[in-house]
Amino acid sequence: MTAKTVVAFDLYGTLLSTESIAKQLEKRCDNAKAQSISALWRRYQLEYTWRLNSMGKPHFQSSRRYEDFSKVTRNSLLHALADNNEQLSDDHIEHLMQAYNDLSTFSDVNPALAQIAADPSIQAVIFSNGTKTMLSNSVLRSKDLSPHASVFQDIVTVDEVQQYKPSKASYEHLAKQTGQDPLQMSKLWLISGNPFDIVGARATGMQAIWVDRVGAGWKDAVAPDLQPTAIVHDLKHIVKEINRHQI
């Protein structure tokens, strides 16, 4: 039997649009402020994960410096609100947190997942910074994504290793969870709309497809030698690119 190709989909910013949270914020403040808070929320959410990774483990503690993604998401929201001199009640903040369970998908997601479901050679999984609860809620309860939940054979979270992407340990954890050899990372594929995720995966030897929906072109120069295996503007092209680059 031919081994399946493991294809790991990032969730936030790849399948689910975090920009859709601005619609919820518009119920509490004007459009311009809602857009500002939404953008800063996402920026701080990612920045906090990288800062936690960098701080590592104090020598006198047995556990790493780590906060799960739910706490990171809440704390970064509070930071974004403070930057905009905006205050929300605890109930409103909880409502925004719950909105993360029902983010909208990008328009190309559902057709692409239908294509993946029809391809028996692909083993699709979700691979995200989110907690298991957050990811399960998003995949199983989101009105946009839940109809395609059966496409994914597993949900892999960095929560289990307490190191966020783009740490090497997070991608090696993906390999182990999907039954792959961490010494043969080139057999694994990552699909992500986040350049930092692409670079992190490529640094471990994984294949990675960057989803460039706005056609901005690759600009990330943190490590110029680490380029995406392929770039697509629409998720419907990923199967073709995987087949074209199979090794």
pLDDT single digits (tens) 63-107? 668 999 999 999 999 999 999 999 999 999 999 998 888 888 999
Per cent of the chain over pLDDT 90 is: 79
Q: Do 155 and 46 fall within a single domain?
A: no
Looking at residue 1, its pLDDT comes to 47
pLDDT exceeds 80 at position 58: no
Top-confidence residue, 210 or 182? 210
Looking at residue 30, its pLDDT comes to 87
Q: Do 181 and 81 fall within a single domain?
A: no
Q: Model-level pTM?
A: 0.93
- Domain range spanning residue 188? 5-16+103-245
Give 55's contacts (C-beta < 8 A, 6+ positions apart). 65
The length of the chain is 247
Looking at residue 206, its pLDDT comes to 97
- Residue 124: CATH number of its domain: 3.40.50.1000
What b/e sequence results for 65-92 when a residue is b if at least 16 CB atoms lie within 10 Å of its CB, and e otherwise?
ebebbeebbbebbebbbeebeeebeeee
- Span 20-26, average pLDDT: 85
The identity of residue 128, as a single letter, is S
Looking at residue 74, its pLDDT comes to 96
> How many structural domains is the chain composed of?
2
pLDDT exceeds 50 at position 162: yes
Q: Do 85 and 47 fall within a single domain?
A: yes
Q: Do 12 and 26 fall within a single domain?
A: no
The alpha carbon of residue 133 and the mean position of all alpha carbons in its chain are separated, in whole angstroms, by 15
Q: Do 139 and 217 fall within a single domain?
A: yes
Looking at residue 195, its pLDDT comes to 97
Last-in-domain residue among 102, 127, 143: 102
Looking at residue 101, its pLDDT comes to 82
* Phi-psi category of residue 187: left, alpha or beta, with phi > 0 → left and psi -120 to 50 → alpha: alpha
Taking a C-beta distance cutoff of 8 angstroms, is the pair 123, 153 a contact? yes
Looking at residue 28, its pLDDT comes to 84
Per-residue pLDDT of 97-153, as tens digits, reads 988 888 889 999 999 999 999 999 999 999 999 999 999 999 988 889 999 999 999
- Residue 51: CATH number of its domain: 1.10.150.240
Q: Do 82 and 198 fall within a single domain?
A: no
Taking a C-beta distance cutoff of 8 angstroms, is the pair 171, 197 a contact? no
pLDDT exceeds 70 at position 62: no
pLDDT exceeds 80 at position 247: no
